[in-house]
Structure 1
Amino acid sequence: MLLQTEAHPANDTEAPRKPERCVIVVDEALPPGKASNAAAVVAFTLGQRHSHLVGAPLRERDGTTHPGLIPIGIPVLKATAHQLSELREKSLAHCDVVDFPVQGQATTDYDAFMNAVQALSGESLQYLAVGLVGTRNRIGKLVGGFSLFA
C-alpha cells in the first residue's frame, strides 16, 4: 500500500477533522476472494489512518461489549483497472487515498512486495483497490459513477 497523504492532525492539540465519507473501490475483474482480500487490506490501513472513524463500543443488555464499528459505513464499489488508476490520480489532491497495487497479491512476503513496487515508476503501477476518505461531497463526485461490487 502506498500512503499518499498524511491523515494525522498538524499537532497533538488539534483534533482531527472527521471525514464524512469512506469508500473502497475494487477492480471488478477480481474473483470474490481476491476482491475481499484487497478491500480488507485497504480497510485495515484506512482504519489505522483514521481511527477516529471507529464508533463507540456496542453493548449488549447484559453488559457484554463488542468493539466499535464505523458508523458511516464503507461502501465497496467496483471499477475497471483503468478507472482505478484514474480515480487514484484524481483523488490525490482532494482526500486521503490508500491504494493497493497488484504486486500485493503476487507474494505473501512484504519485503518482496515493497521491492516489486520500488522497481516501478508510479505511472506504471496498477491497482487492485483504492480507498478514499474525505468530505461527503468530494467523495461523491469522485465515485458517483461506480456501482456496488457484487
Structure 2
Amino acid sequence: MNFDATIHKCVIVVDSALGVGHAANAASVIGVSLGRSVSGLVGPDMQSRDNVNYPGVIYAPLPILLTSNEHLQSLQERALTDEEIHTMPFSALAQSCKTYQA
C-alpha cells in the first residue's frame, strides 16, 4: 500500500479488555509494523538548525481506539472484504511471545 494523507486515514483499534500495558504494547507493535509495511506513511527525517536529527513521523493523525473483542473481530472480518483497507492484526498469542522466533 502507498499511503496518501490527502485520501487515506489511519486508526489503531485495540481490545478494550486488555490492561493498559498490554494495550499500549499492542498499539506500539502495530504502529511499528504499519510504518514498515505502508510506504509513504512516515515522513523524512528533519534536521534542526542546531543539528539535532528528528526521525520522520507519521503524515496523518493516528488515533488509538478501544472496542470489545467481538466488535474487533467484526471489524477485521469486514476489513478483509474491502481491498481499500489495509489491516495489521496483532494476536494475543503474538503478544505473549518474548522473542520473534517464538
TM tier relative to shorter chain: 0.7 to 0.9
2:52 is aligned, of 61, 64, 68, to: 64
Match of 2:88 among 79, 88, 98: 98
Q: How does 1:18-37 map to 2 (within 5 A)?
A: 18=4, 20-37=8-25
Amino acid at match of 2:95: Q
Q: Structure 2 counterpart of 1:48, which letter?
A: R
Aligned residues: 98
Q: Is the aligned partner of 1:44 residue 2:32? A: yes
Q: If the length of structure 2 is used for normalisation, what is the TM-score?
A: 0.83
User: What is the TM-score normalised by the length of structure 1?
Assistant: 0.59
More strand by share: 1
Change (3 A) 1:67 1:103: same
**How much is the aligned-residue C-alpha RMSD, in angstroms?**
1.7
Q: CA deviation at 1:17?
A: 5.3
> Are 2:3 and 2:38, in contact at CA under 8 Å, matched by a contact in 1?
no
Pairing of 1:51-90 with structure 2 (within 5 A)? 51-90=39-78
Gaps of 5+ in 2: none
Identity of aligned residues (%): 36
Native 8 Å contact 2:3 2:39 kept in 1: no
